[in-house]
Structure 1
Amino acid sequence: MRRRFTMLRALLVLLTWLAFTPVWADGVVHLLASEAGGAYREAADAFRAAFAARRPVKFWTLAELDNRQIRALTSENNLIVPIGLKAARAVAEHHGGQAAVLTLMIPHVSAERLVWPANLPRRKVSHVHIDQPVSRTLSLVEVVFPRASRVGLVVSAENAEAVKGFQQEAARRHLSLNLEWVARPEQVAPALRGVLPEADVLLLLPDSVAFHAGNAQNVLLTTYRYRVPVVGFSQGLAKAGAVAVVYSSPAQIGRQGARMASRWKPESGDLPAAQHADDFSIAFNSHVARSLGVILPDLGEARRKLGAVDE
């Protein structure tokens, strides 16, 4: 009888321990979305489906965790996957110095500006960027606008590194890159008036000064008045008036993140180097294209020319 009681007590202790063991035990992958639904949920669902059951995966929204809980999550040998810039900033600001971090759906320039703890090895931080590689973007320009030789670009200093890449790739392709720099929002309109008369196509990059949600409509209207087609970086821009865009969907980014996360080992915390998503989509605005006299290529053929592998 006493032996049975001892066994029951031991079982009760074990069950109690399991019930109250923190969900941020070592070796867990924690998805942390900036918001609950929309693109963030799409990326998270795709990540979980592709990651399968390699390790435990838990999903949180930023609203569910306070700063203390984020610090606890990041103080263990976990993998934290912030989805979106708000979540990435919160993890960087309150990082406990131990967990590896793989951000999803933030631009390259934003990833470079995140400040991580001094004691966190940089090999434990990586990203799947939301923006596209330079070669893919300029390939779209050549496929959709084969006669274009002058590419306009308006950016601020935050995109200085990206501009270097575009200058090198444009020179390799014998394209002329007509560049205007802006430092303040009020300089964007004059910069457009300077670059558009000398451009066959305007290239848009995410930029907190030069091009963002607050001025997107004005920029697109200005390009339309000058009858200069736009190449953009998101599906929403195609709907808003860009003639052609190349982008990686949240699901495509989520699957890429899962492939990178599958190579993470808690013992070392090392992650693969930052990447752009291998998978991408192209979208056209046929109405704007017709009004500007642009003859669009076949969508499937355009994807193949950009190196897409159909699933």
Structure 2
Amino acid sequence: MARLGVARRALLLAACAGWAPVPARAAASAVWVAQSDTGAANEEAAGALREVLAPVAEVHVGLWPHVGAGAGDVPPRLVIALGVAALRGALARRGRDAPLERVPILAGLVPSHAVQTEVPPGTPLVGALVLEQPAARYGELIRLAMPQRRRIGVLVGQPPAGWLEALRRWAVRADRQLVLETVGEDGLVPALRRVLESADVLLATPDPMVYTPASLQNILIASYRRRVPVVSYAPAHARAGAVLALAVTPAQAGRQMGEVARAALRGQALPALVAARDFQVMVNDAVARSLDIALPTAAELEATLRQRSGLEGRA
């Protein structure tokens, strides 16, 4: 299972230091899956979770805080929180509900920066499977899809710990140049202008200081006008105008969370932070054509990336 960088793992090692076997009074095989909402992503992830856990656990799925409402004082073996709102609610309820105080929480469908924001240092019995892909996988996607483009631009605000360092290591191995521009006090626009003057592809990173709903459209429009394709970490960005996106699907994340949960039910400690293992490639053919970029198909790119990642046969 691919793990995130050492710095990011260290940030929440204390969050798992207090892990212990679940209470003896806990229901023998109950797992609560708490959803932040009933949107498609939460439903898809919950369905995959239920499929993986059904042979070994009694799975209760519902909106937080209503999931498990009929259990009385009998706590579950494990709480799985889907999304930031469910994670926040699960932590708050555990803090005021004695039967839940020693029940581990596994967060999913969350970015690492949200875990770092929501989980205070030293919080026990918390693990997370985060949405980010390994940085090198994005670099490999660019090299496969657009081998002639060797100057990769990155806008830097507050990227996930270790992510940028991993991208630098990949660039050295792959003989690619990183064009880094920091979004500082003068704001996004000057940094965006500078990076687009030098880079021939822009890699959008899971950086909450740079890529926001308010800034995304400006970044995509400016990049398009300079004929610099954008490669992103979010499917929504590909639909909005990025040429490529690479991301884990909710079902893929749900299956991986289910595997982590099964290990926890067998007595293994929850991982502090673990990256999404699987992925899907999305291609915006219309934008690629308008930029005169001939791309392999999404299926071709995905198959090659899977082979290089040791994930052949996974869907």
TM-score band, normalised by the shorter chain?
0.7 to 0.9
1:163 aligns with 164
Cα shift readout 1:212-239 (whole Å, capped 9, x = no counterpart):
1222111111111111000011221111
Moved more, 24-33 or 160-169: 24-33
Distance 1:229 1:75 in 2: 54
1:82 aligns with 81
Distance 1:94 1:75 in 2: 14
1:192 Cα deviation after fit: 0.5
2:133 aligns with 132
| Structure 2: unaligned runs, 5 residues or longer | 1-25, 96-100, 307-311
Distance 1:117 1:242, change over 3 A: closer
State whether structure 2 residue 126 is matched by structure 1 residue 100.
Answer: no
Distance 1:205 1:283 in 2: 16
2:248 aligns with 248
1:139 Cα deviation after fit: 0.9
Moved more, 85-94 or 298-307: 85-94
Distance 2:113 2:168 in 1: 17
1:274 Cα deviation after fit: 3.3
Distance 1:303 1:73 in 2: 46
2:173 aligns with 172
2:238 aligns with 238
Q: Would you say the 8 A contact 2:135–2:167 is kept in 1? A: yes
Q: Aligned to 1:48, which of 47, 50, 63?
A: 50
Distance 2:94 2:57 in 1: 22
Q: Normalization by structure 2: what TM-score?
A: 0.80
Distance 1:142 1:167, change over 3 A: same
Distance 2:216 2:187 in 1: 14
Q: Would you say the 8 A contact 2:241–2:287 is kept in 1? A: yes
Alignment of 1:95-244 (within 5 A): 95-96=94-95, 97-116=101-120, 118=122, 120=124, 124-183=125-184, 187-244=187-244
Moved more, 280-289 or 51-60: 51-60
1:215 aligned counterpart, secondary structure: helix
Alignment of 1:52-71 (within 5 A): 52-62=54-64, 64=66
Moved more, 301-310 or 192-201: 301-310
1:86 aligned counterpart, secondary structure: helix
1:243 Cα deviation after fit: 0.4
| Structure 1: unaligned runs, 5 residues or longer | 1-23
The count of corresponding residues between Structure 1 and Structure 2 is: 279
Distance 2:225 2:241 in 1: 12
Distance 1:74 1:236 in 2: 41
Larger Rg: 1
Cα shift readout 1:61-89 (whole Å, capped 9, x = no counterpart):
12537xxx89x999956211111112122
Q: Would you say the 8 A contact 1:108–1:129 is kept in 2? A: yes
Distance 2:298 2:226 in 1: 26
1:117 Cα deviation after fit: 7.4
CA RMSD of aligned residues (A): 2.6
1:303 Cα deviation after fit: 1.3
1:253 Cα deviation after fit: 0.4
Distance 1:29 1:99, change over 3 A: same
Cα shift readout 1:96-126 (whole Å, capped 9, x = no counterpart):
4411121111112322333247462xxx432
Distance 1:205 1:87 in 2: 24
1:133 Cα deviation after fit: 1.1
